[in-house]
Amino acid sequence: MKTRITEMLGIEHPIIQGGMHYVGFAELAAAVSNAGGLGTITGLTQKSAKDLANEIARCRDMTDKPFAVNLTFLPSVSTPDYPGYVKAIIDGGVKIVETAGRNPQQVLPALKDAGIKVIHKCTSVRHSLKAQSIGCDAVSVDGFECGGHPGEDDIPNFILLPRAADELEIPFVASGGMGDARSLVAALALGADGMNMGTRFMATKEAPIHENVKQALVAATELDTRLVMRPLRNTERVLNNAATERLLEKEKRLGGDIKFDDIMEEVAGVYPKIMLDGEMDVGVWSCGMVTGLIHDVPTCKELIDRIMAEANSIITQRLEGFVAAKVAA
């Protein structure tokens, strides 16, 4: 299947694995890329630029296909060594970067001079247009269904994607609620050039996370995510668990007086304990509504091959059948 995204990135299938904290290691990125999609290493999971350089080298040893590095720009007390991370990406020969969070304009000149394609994650049409105007090559449009931070507009993809198609000139991929062949075909129909999957790739054999996390995703339904940190205007969609309930109780009790310090126990430094050690209730962790579509833990190749085969069937049989029936009538 050829789209503007597959052509731009040099990949076989229009499927991207998004950057995920303590999930996007070399093992997963290489497995997705080897299966014909675009795998992504999560830059800030690596504690230093040197560590990222080593992770890129590890991924390079596992695949000769294109892969990306995610670089998220977040407000923090101690700013990450972004120049160092960018240098590691360039020196490592990575040709695709997924940026997220704040405006990535500060790093664009260095990335573009190195011939790197930049895909920026956006939760609104206005942010997508801004990314286009500053020189990003593509955007990942995140609907309200997505795990992690969906923004504050609460626009689901059935509206957001066609609005993006109306306004954007650069290619874009759909993110949020993407998990199977139906997701891909729907995204293409709504104007996207492919899809970005995060939560779905967590429930794969190669995802280097604890089995407890994978089984939680299989067991959960579309009713099992919650929105936290809304009063702080830093909304995050997470899987419901004991920590989520504690956090929501604090938000209800403290109301408008709540501060980030009040929820540090539930959100700060919890990802290694959850993702690597399987301590499921120690904190909150990002999870999309798409968990309701996850029923197994295949390999990345099995998942991508299944998606592409079923997408082809939907397009050439189900949808074409509707057109044929109309002509026959």
Q: What is the pLDDT of residues 91-122, one digit of tens each?
A: 999 999 999 999 999 999 999 999 999 999 99
Q: What is the pLDDT of residue 325?
A: 72
Q: What is the pLDDT of residue 59?
A: 98
144 and 54 share a domain?
yes
Flag whether pLDDT at 328 surpasses 70.
no
185 and 51 share a domain?
yes
47 and 188 share a domain?
yes
Q: What is the pLDDT of residue 78?
A: 76
94 and 183 share a domain?
yes
Percent of the chain exceeding pLDDT 70 equals 98
- Specify if 48 maps to a domain: yes
Asked which of 145-149, 226-230, 291-295, 325-329 is least confident by mean pLDDT, the reply is: 325-329
Q: What is the pLDDT of residue 86?
A: 98
Interatomic CA distance for residues 301 and 204, integer angstroms: 9
Flag whether pLDDT at 124 surpasses 90.
yes
The answer to whether the Cα torsion of 287, 293, 297, 301 is positive or negative is: negative
Q: What is the pLDDT of residue 329?
A: 61
**Average pLDDT for 132-157:** 97
Q: What is the pLDDT of residue 323?
A: 87
269 and 190 share a domain?
no
Q: What is the pLDDT of residue 77?
A: 63
**Average pLDDT for 62-86:** 92
- Specify if 75 maps to a domain: yes
- Specify if 301 maps to a domain: no
Is residue 83 a contact partner of residue 69, using CB atoms and an 8 Å limit? no
Q: What is the pLDDT of residues 208-243, one digit of tens each?
A: 999 999 999 999 999 999 999 999 999 999 999 999
Interatomic CA distance for residues 204 and 234, integer angstroms: 29
83 and 10 share a domain?
yes
Flag whether pLDDT at 185 surpasses 70.
yes
Is residue 143 a contact partner of residue 160, using CB atoms and an 8 Å limit? yes
33 and 172 share a domain?
yes
What's the number of domains the chain is made of?
A: 2
Q: Which among 208, 230, 256 is the end of a domain?
A: 208
- Specify if 221 maps to a domain: yes
Is residue 136 a contact partner of residue 168, using CB atoms and an 8 Å limit? no
Place of tokens 């920026």: 120
199 and 219 share a domain?
no
Is residue 143 a contact partner of residue 176, using CB atoms and an 8 Å limit? yes
Place of tokens 């626009």: 155
User: Residue 55's domain spans which residues?
Assistant: 4-208
Q: Which of 58, 64, 56, 15 is nearest to 38 (CA)?
A: 15
Q: Which of 171, 123, 115, 168 is nearest to 143 (CA)?
A: 123
CATH assignment at residue 148: 3.20.20.70
Tokens of 287: 């999870």
Other C-beta atoms within 10 Å of 61: how many?
A: 10
Quick one: three-class SS letters along 149-168? CCCCCCCCHHHHHHHHHHHC
pLDDT bin (cut points 50, 70, 90) of residue 74 is confident
Give the angle 86-87-91 at the CA atoms, nearest 5°: 120
188 and 52 share a domain?
yes
By CB neighbour count within 10 A (0-12 exposed, 13-18 middle, 19+ buried), where does 324 fall? exposed
User: DSSP 3-state assignment of 260?
Assistant: helix
Distances (CA, A) of 122 to 44, 209, 325: 19, 26, 39
Flag whether pLDDT at 326 surpasses 90.
no
Distances (CA, A) of 198 to 69, 83, 187, 202: 14, 26, 15, 7
Flag whether pLDDT at 89 surpasses 70.
yes
Q: Which among 208, 229, 256 is the end of a domain?
A: 208
Extract the runs of DSSP E, i.e. beta strands, from 219-262.
225-228, 236-239
141 and 234 share a domain?
no
Q: What is the pLDDT of residues 258-282, one digit of tens each?
A: 999 999 999 999 999 999 999 999 9
